[in-house]
Amino acid sequence: MEKEMRTPVIAGNWKMNKTPYEAVTLVNELKEFIKNPRCEVVICPPFLDIPVLFSELNGSSIKMGAQNCHFEEKGAFTGEVSVKMLKESGCSHVIIGHSERRQYFNETDETVNLKIKAAVNGNLTAIVCVGETLEERESEKTEEVIKRQVEGALKDIDELSLRKIIIAYEPIWAIGTGKTAQAAEADVVCGYIRELIAKKYTKQLARTTRILYGGSMNSANAKELLEQYNIDGGLIGGASLKARNFAEIVSAADSL
């Protein structure tokens, strides 16, 4: 019942794939496959593809997000992109704190928190990623790591802003490895994130916040994952680069 209050989100994280030209081809295929989804469908292409896709997506029900943003409004930050630039270029969403950014680009819980604030203040929906490494899971530190990341991300964020935040649980050992978390085990962690939100805010907000799973989700395993009570959608990497595969995951969400 409560799960029905939460519109599922299927978000594609293209990572550093697809040139602007290739991106247009993929989007045209996606538009053929995805006409009137009941779930929220978001694609997150590389920055350079965004303005090109803005016009391509006009009139379609597919939304666009970026994979990162800077937390300052403007200024001397060579190589960075602001929330306002993303907004003006057609983005409604932005992924923040993906594990690859934490691992390779030194993002910390503090910068993730600043970026979330910048995103929601600029009226973008933030898709905030959290997740443990294999080592952390094996040493039974999953909850500790998730708690630190969730609390760090949501520091000084009020209830109104939380409504513009989607959390994505992405166990690092499942990203791009073909190893998916068992549906029940992913549900437990997503449920734990919901508990953390209930404690910090209210039970009502915990019930309405959307929590996604990410990590080797594909058309074969999507349904089982999406059926879990605490899983409200997916953040999809590899399988979002093939229109048919991505559309099948959207259909799986729509069939729930």
Among 8, 65, 131, 215, binds ligand PGA (CB under 6 A): 215
- Decide: 12 and 44 in contact? Cβ < 8 Å: yes
| Minimum CB distance to ligand PGA smaller for 81 or for 129 | 129
Q: Least distance in Å: CB of 234 to ligand PGA?
A: 8
72 is catalytic: no
Q: Which of 40, 70, 98, 132 is catalytic?
A: 98
Query: Of all residues in this chain, which one has the CB nearest to ligand PGA in the complex?
Result: 237
Among 238, 243, 248, 250, binds ligand PGA (CB under 6 A): 238
The verdict on 122 binding ligand PGA (CB under 6 A) reads: no
The verdict on 237 binding ligand PGA (CB under 6 A) reads: yes
| Minimum CB distance to ligand PGA smaller for 85 or for 239 | 239
Based on the number of CB atoms within 10 Å of its own CB, is 156 exposed (0-12), middle (13-18) or buried (19 or more)?
exposed
Q: Which of 40, 56, 136, 170 is catalytic?
A: 170
The verdict on 175 binding ligand PGA (CB under 6 A) reads: yes
Q: Least distance in Å: CB of 23 to ligand PGA?
A: 17
98 is catalytic: yes
β-partners of residue 11 are: 42, 235
The verdict on 214 binding ligand PGA (CB under 6 A) reads: yes
| Minimum CB distance to ligand PGA smaller for 50 or for 95 | 95
Spatial CA neighbour of 67 closest among 250, 247, 235: 235
| Minimum CB distance to ligand PGA smaller for 85 or for 175 | 175
Q: Which stretch binds ligand PGA (CB under 6 A): 22-30, 106-114, 130-138, 235-243?
A: 235-243
Q: Which stretch binds ligand PGA (CB under 6 A): 85-93, 106-114, 170-178, 198-206?
A: 170-178
Among 107, 136, 170, 248, binds ligand PGA (CB under 6 A): 170
Tell me the DSSP string of the chain.
--GGGS--EEEEE--S---HHHHHHHHHHHHHH-SS-SSEEEEE--TTHHHHHHHHTTTSSEEEEES---SSSSSS-TT---HHHHHHTT-SEEEES-HHHHHHS---HHHHHHHHHHHHHTT-EEEEEE---HHHHHTT-HHHHHHHHHHHHTTT--HHHHTTEEEEE--GGGTTSS-PPPHHHHHHHHHHHHHHHHHHS-HHHHHHS-EEEESS--TTTHHHHHHSTT--EEEESGGGSSHHHHHHHHHHHHT-
Residues noted as catalytic: 98, 170
- Summarize as ranges the residues that interact with ligand PGA (CB under 6 A): 13, 170, 175-176, 214-217, 235-239
